[in-house]
Amino acid sequence: MAVIKEPSFRESVDIMFNQAVALMDLPPGIEEKIRVCNSTYTVRFGVRLRGQMHTFTGYRSVHSEHMEPVKGGIRYALAVDQDEVEALAALMTFKCALVEAPFGGSKGGLCIDPRQWEEHELEQITRRFAFELVKRDLINPSQNVPAPDMGTGEREMAWIADTYRRMNTTDINGNACVTGKPAHAGGIQGRVEATGRGVQYALREFFRHPEDVKAANLSGTLDGKRVIVQGLGNVGYHAAKFLQEEDGSRIIGIIERDGALYNPDGLNVEKVREWIVKHGGVSGYPDATHHAEGGAVLEEECDILIPAALEGVINMGNAERIKAPLIIEAANGPVTAGADDILRKKGTVIIPDMYANAGGVTVSYFEWVKNLSHIRFGRMQRRQEEARHELIVKELERLDDFLGDKWSMTPDFKAQYLRGAGELELVRSGLDDTMRTAYQAISSMWHSRDDVRDLRTAAYLVAIGRVAGSYTAKGL
Ligand code: GLU
């Protein structure tokens, strides 16, 4: 069924969900139960700032409680409304199911432009918002665990955790009430980079599947691939940086709020980021052509397009002109259901949001487990492993002496082999494994049936199948 009129974000999620369940044989009633959002709480609260009372509107939506706690970020943006929060909460349910993070889906939002407020004002607003949610168990280590999203980060999570602890002074697991906290305040190494890192691991896994690479009319590896990224925020910046520095990809376009940079020879991601931090935007950056109308760069020739900013940026208005053969949705909902139809007909391959940006919630899961276990990953084993490796290295050294010129250890082997894995290495390894396993599940679903027309439909089938399995097992 072709989409005729541009659907909203929420309609897009519903359309994609419906297209997937039409291919499934679910027990009666389960489809509707999974589709609907269980509850959305709206809170309006006042904070006295700048000599007057300001009223703010926030939401926390719970999509599915088939597993608890429910999980999902809190977004600070003026565009936040009930529909958006509910669509995002639904995506969280499917995202968690896909990467086997044992959570239901939730999402929160505060209708605010964070750039308009000073840090101490944002702290007051955040603490008050958190208070309203904690009071109703909408922030709670065993029921509902928020995390950062657009417009929020470690700082806000630390305020939220502190507010929860002040209200629950005897809860020994209080730190697990929110993830994405700073490393020195109960966080975990590698959470900040996690979503961008996950995009990199997702692309690496995609390129390990020759059949899928061929479907996108591409070949080879990530090395030398031309990449355009929209949004150099936390997710876009880390994804672009890692692809450039570790995989040899060429970042030829960067689209930001105030326009876009384009350079076919490649842009230096680190330098562009520094420029944005210093000047508030990309305008004036040397070594690139500047386009005032940033959206036009989405339509430039490239191998991989990474929308890492807002929803709905690839829509029925521009989909026909998008030249990238491969799109990886680092943002949530960047391609509308209408654009999805157009792109599929053109042969574009889309790695869908619910998989592509699941790195964030995956590492959130590790952080939550760390908080509940009250011990850093690797603390018990690291030195013991090193000692055992040392034994082997000693034997190899004896062999090295004995064999003289005939054989010697590869330079660096000893140092590399002896280095025990710290928390960051373990987090990256767990994330890599998660991204690989989840991709394998959706790719094999894609190829297993003719009516599974793309990776998104496959991802929905895998995710909905797991959620339905959980409902059925409970007898709900
Ligand atoms: N806000 C992120 C997302 O949309 C992370 C959620 C989390 O870590 O719970 O996936």
CATH of the domain at 50: 3.40.50.10860
Task: Output 419 or 267, whichever has higher pLDDT.
Answer: 267
Q: Answer whether 0.85 is exceeded by the pTM.
A: yes
Q: Which of 81, 101, 104 is nearest to 91 (CA)?
A: 104
- Ligand 1 centre and the CA of 393: distance in Å? 42
- Ligand 1 centre and the CA of 397: distance in Å? 47
Q: Which atom of ligand 1 is nearest to the CA of 95?
A: 10
Q: Is the CB of 362 under 6 A from ligand 1?
A: no
Residue whose CA is at the smallest distance from ligand 1 atom 9: 72
Average predicted confidence (pLDDT) for the chain: 96
Residue that terminates a domain, selected from 420, 441, 470: 420
Is 353 a member of any domain?
no
What type of residue sits at position 77?
Answer: A
For the cut 70, the answer to whether the pLDDT of residue 476 exceeds it is no
Query: How many separate domains does the chain show?
Result: 2
Is 455 a member of any domain?
no
Is 124 a member of any domain?
yes
Is 426 a member of any domain?
no
Task: Output 418 or 286, whichever has higher pLDDT.
Answer: 286
Q: Which atom of ligand 1 is nearest to the CA of 365?
A: 8
Q: Which atom of ligand 1 is nearest to the CA of 146?
A: 9
pLDDT at position 418, please?
85
Residue that terminates a domain, selected from 187, 203, 233: 187
Pick from 67, 75, 92, 355 the residue to mutate for probing ligand 1's pocket: most ligand atoms within 8 Å of its CB: 92
Where residue 285 falls among pLDDT bands split at 50, 70, 90? very high
Domain containing 410: what range? Answer: 380-420
- 239-253, 324-338, 385-399, 456-470: range with lowest mean pLDDT: 385-399
* Percent share of the chain, pLDDT over 90: 93
Q: Is the CB of 329 under 6 A from ligand 1?
A: no
Is 240 a member of any domain?
no
Is 81 a member of any domain?
yes
Residue that terminates a domain, selected from 158, 187, 216: 187
Is 252 a member of any domain?
no
- Ligand 1 centre and the CA of 360: distance in Å? 5
Rounded CA-CA distance 239/254 in Å is 12
Q: Is the CB of 311 under 6 A from ligand 1?
A: no
Pick from 103, 361, 362, 369 the residue to mutate for probing ligand 1's pocket: most ligand atoms within 8 Å of its CB: 361
Pick from 364, 431, 434 the residue to mutate for probing ligand 1's pocket: most ligand atoms within 8 Å of its CB: 364
Residues 6+ apart with CB under 8 A from 350: 326, 327, 328, 329, 335, 340, 343, 344, 454, 455, 456
- Per-residue model confidence as pLDDT tens digits over 222-252: 999 999 999 999 999 999 999 999 999 999 9
For the cut 70, the answer to whether the pLDDT of residue 209 exceeds it is yes
Q: Which of 89, 87, 85, 123 is nearest to 104 (CA)?
A: 89
- Ligand 1 centre and the CA of 157: distance in Å? 12
- Ligand 1 centre and the CA of 285: distance in Å? 31
| Residues assigned a catalytic role | 107
Is 109 a member of any domain?
yes
- 109-123, 140-154, 227-241, 379-393: range with lowest mean pLDDT: 379-393
